[in-house]
Amino acid sequence: MTFKQYLHDHLAGIAWYVIGLALLCFGLWLDPRQRVRWDTLLYMAVLITGFAAVLLVWHYTRTKKWVKAFTDRTEAGVEALDWPLAASSNHERAAIIEAYNHVLREHRQAQSELIARQQDQKAFIDSWVHEIKVPLAAAGLLQDSLDGKAPEKPLDELALQLDKINFYVEQVLYYSRLDSFSKDYLLREYDLKPLVDGVIVDQRNSFIDRRISFALNGDSLTVVTDEKWLRFILGQLVSNALKYTAPGGQVTATIADAPTEATLTIEDTGIGIPSDELHRVFEKGFTGTNGRNANQRSTGLGLYLADQLSQKLGHHLTITSTVDQGTAVTIHFPHLSFYGESGTTLAKPAVKH
C-alpha cells in the first residue's frame, strides 16, 4: 500500500478536516470580542495542520503494516491457508482477525474431511476393482471350459463382453490413481512394437467381432516410458478407434523417428470428429456428437485419461480428424538430451575398471 493510495482512501476525512479548520479560523476572525490577527490564525492553522500530518503519517505506517499482513498471505498462495493472523489490541481489527482466522479454521476442517472422504472413496474403488477381477477371471475360465461344448457365436459374444468389462474396470482403476501417479511409475527403455502388439492382442476379440484389420508400420524404435501406463494409453486409443470404425475398416499404428522426437500414431478409417469439436476431445467428460450417438455410448474419460497420463510421463498427444474419413491420434516422445547427447534414449556411460 503506497502513501498515495492511503491518501486516496482518506480523502473524505482530510476534506472534512480542512473544512472544519477553515470554519474555526473564520469564526474566530469574525468574532468582534476576539481581536486575533489573521497572521496569528494562519500560524495556528499551520501548526495544527503539521501536528495532524504527523498523526496521519503515523497512522499510515500502522495501516501499511496491517495491509501488508494480507498482501503477504495473498502472495503466499495455498501456504496462507496455514498462516493465521496475529492478535491485535485494536477492537475493530481484532474482529476482522477473528473472522479471518475462523474462516481459515473452517476451511482446514472442511479440507481435511474432504481429503478423508476422497481417500476412503479411492480405497473402496481400488478394493472393488481387485475384488471384481476375481469373478471376471473365473468367468473367463468358465468360458474357456465351454469351448467346443457350447455354440461358438454365444461364446465369442461372451468373450467380447468380458473384454469390455475388463476394459472399463481398468479405466476406473487408472482414473482413481491419476492423482497418485508419482507413486506408481517406473521409467525404462521399451521397444514400441512389442507394446503395440500386446495391446492389439488384448483387444483381438473386438477386432475379430467387427472384422477390422490391423497394420503396424515403421521400424522398431526404443523410447523411455512406463510400460504399464503406456499400455493403458494405447488401449484407450485403440478402443476409441475400434468403437468409431465401421465393420470391415482398418486401424493402423505407425512408428516414426523425427529429429526432435519419436512418434506413435494410431489411425483409423472411422466416422471422424467434426472440426469444431477437435479442440475439446481431451476435456474431461466431453463426449461430442459421436459420443451421444445411441449406438456409441461414451463416458468422455478415455482421451482425457490418455492425455493426462501422457503429460505425466513427459509425452503429449495430438489429434487430427476428417469427418467420414477417419481419425489419427499421435503420441509424441520428445528426444532426451544430456551433455550434448540427444535421442529417444541416452547411451549408458561405460564403466571403468
Query: Worst-scoring range by mean pLDDT, 27-36, 72-81, 197-206, 305-314?
Result: 27-36
pLDDT in the model for residue 69: 86
* Res 352 pLDDT > 60: no
Query: Worst-scoring range by mean pLDDT, 95-99, 124-128, 218-222, 288-292?
Result: 288-292
Nearest CA-CA partner of 40 in 32, 51, 29: 29
The pLDDT tens digits for 224-279 are 999 989 999 999 999 989 988 999 999 999 999 988 899 999 999 999 888 888 88
- Which range has the top average pLDDT, 158-162, 176-180, 327-331? 327-331
Q: Average model confidence (pLDDT) for the chain? A: 84
pLDDT in the model for residue 299: 74
pLDDT in the model for residue 353: 53
Q: Residue 265: enclosing H or E segment and its boundaries? A: strand 261-268
> CA-CA distances (angstroms) from residue 312 to 192, 226, 308?
18, 10, 6
Q: Give the three-state DSSP class for 188.
A: strand
Nine-digit cell at 190?
Answer: 521399451
Burial class of residue 226 (count of CB atoms within 10 Å of its CB; 0-12, 13-18, 19+): buried
Strand 261-268 and strand 250-257: the pairing is antiparallel
Give strand ranges (E) for the chain.
188-191, 213-217, 222-225, 250-257, 261-268, 316-322, 326-334, 336-338, 341-343
Alpha-carbon distance of 9 to 26, in angstroms, equals: 28
More confident position, 253 or 38: 253
* Res 317 pLDDT > 90: yes
